[in-house]
């Protein structure tokens, strides 16, 4: 980076800001990771879908680069999902156990950073913005799909099995991947796991959720259109330990 970044977090308020978020998503999810989708605009370089109008879009701006959008997170409250007709994750997971809980839900998704901002303070600031949003809207449960690159489960056997054996959600929060693309995560017996090797394959975002006390649902979802293997992370804000709450409030470094 040419200059020390000056970060600012805000919600997208204009079409121009939304397009800037979609352009960043295109660079990361389409160009970098090989994803695609029916509404992806390759000509304009925008990664978008039918849910975008219903989500709030949390933007990380770098004022040292004229307010360029360098990070995004899109979030969907349960009241917004009602207007959309469903949560985004419902295309991949059965969410009835969460929807029937009577608690305030927030779906997280499309989290990404411009490549040069990864591994530093950028994610810290984005998570601080998310923490404020959660507080402002009295959210009880956070959830969303997070992805491993690729669709070959044999290459992901160690991390998927580690998540299954060590971080499977309790039944009250245990969403389940739809059978059409269900991938069993119990691929290696617990006693044969190499935790160090497994954790090296776990993306930084999933590690962050685990540090916050996050769980995974039952089964991964193989998303061939996006060239990913997805897991559903669920976090119960009410049962986080004080240490985890402190980490969450400060933000999590990616």
Q: Is residue 90 part of a domain?
A: yes
Q: Is residue 193 part of a domain?
A: yes
Per-residue pLDDT at 249 = 53
Per-residue pLDDT at 240 = 56
**How many separate helices (H) and strands (E) can be counted in the chain?**
8, 11
pLDDT digit of tens for each residue in the chain (254 aa)?
A: 567 899 999 999 999 999 999 999 999 999 998 888 888 999 999 999 999 999 999 999 999 999 999 999 999 999 999 999 999 999 999 999 999 999 999 999 999 999 999 888 898 899 889 988 998 999 999 999 999 989 999 999 999 999 999 999 999 999 999 999 999 999 999 999 998 999 999 998 899 888 888 999 999 999 988 888 999 999 987 665 444 556 555 544 33
Per-residue pLDDT at 219 = 98
* 178: phi then psi, degrees, rounded to nearest 5: -65, 145
Any bridge partners for residue 238, and if so which?
none
Instruction: Give the residue ranges of DSSP H helices in 15-88.
Output: 15-25, 78-84
Domain housing 186 = 74-250
Q: How many domains does the chain have?
A: 1
Residue whose tokens read 């979609």: 22
Structure tokens at 230: 């997805």
Q: Is residue 98 part of a domain?
A: yes
Q: What is the DSSP letter of 137?
A: T
Per-residue pLDDT at 236 = 84
* 109: phi then psi, degrees, rounded to nearest 5: -170, 170
Q: Is residue 172 part of a domain?
A: yes
Q: Is residue 20 part of a domain?
A: no
CATH code where residue 235 lies: 3.40.630
Q: Is residue 155 part of a domain?
A: yes
Beta strand 141-149 with 105-113: parallel, antiparallel or unpaired? parallel
Q: Is residue 67 part of a domain?
A: no
Per-residue pLDDT at 253 = 37
Q: Is residue 58 part of a domain?
A: no
Give the integer Cα–Cα distance in Å for 40 and 36.
6
Any bridge partners for residue 231, and if so which?
146
């Amino acid at each position: 980076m040419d200059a020390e970044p000056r970060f600012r977090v805000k919600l997208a308020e204009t079409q121009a800001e939304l397009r800037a978020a979609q352009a960043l998503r295109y660079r990361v999810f389409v160009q970098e990771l090989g994803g695609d989708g029916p509404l992806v605009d390759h000509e304009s370089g925008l990664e978008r879908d039918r849910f975008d109008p219903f989500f709030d879009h949390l933007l990380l701006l770098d004022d040292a680069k004229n307010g360029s959008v360098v990070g995004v997170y899109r979030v969907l409250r349960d009241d917004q999902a009602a207007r959309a007709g469903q949560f985004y994750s419902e295309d991949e997971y059965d969410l009835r156990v969460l929807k029937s809980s009577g608690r305030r839900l927030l779906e997280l998704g499309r989290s990404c950073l411009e490549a040069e901002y990864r591994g530093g303070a950028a994610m810290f600031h984005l998570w601080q913005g998310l923490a404020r949003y959660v507080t402002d809207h009295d959210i009880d449960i956070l959830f969303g799909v997070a992805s491993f690159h690729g669709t070959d489960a044999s290459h992901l056997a160690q991390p998927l099995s580690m998540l299954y054996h060590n971080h499977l959600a309790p039944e009250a929060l245990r969403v389940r991947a739809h059978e059409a693309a269900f991938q069993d995560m119990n691929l290696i017996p617990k006693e044969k796991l190499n935790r160090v090797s497994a954790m090296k394959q776990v993306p930084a975002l999933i590690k962050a959720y685990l540090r916050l006390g996050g769980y995974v649902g039952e089964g991964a979802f193989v998303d061939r259109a996006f060239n990913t293997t997805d897991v559903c992370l669920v976090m119960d804000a009410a049962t986080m330990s004080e240490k985890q709450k402190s980490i969450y409030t400060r933000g999590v470094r990616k």
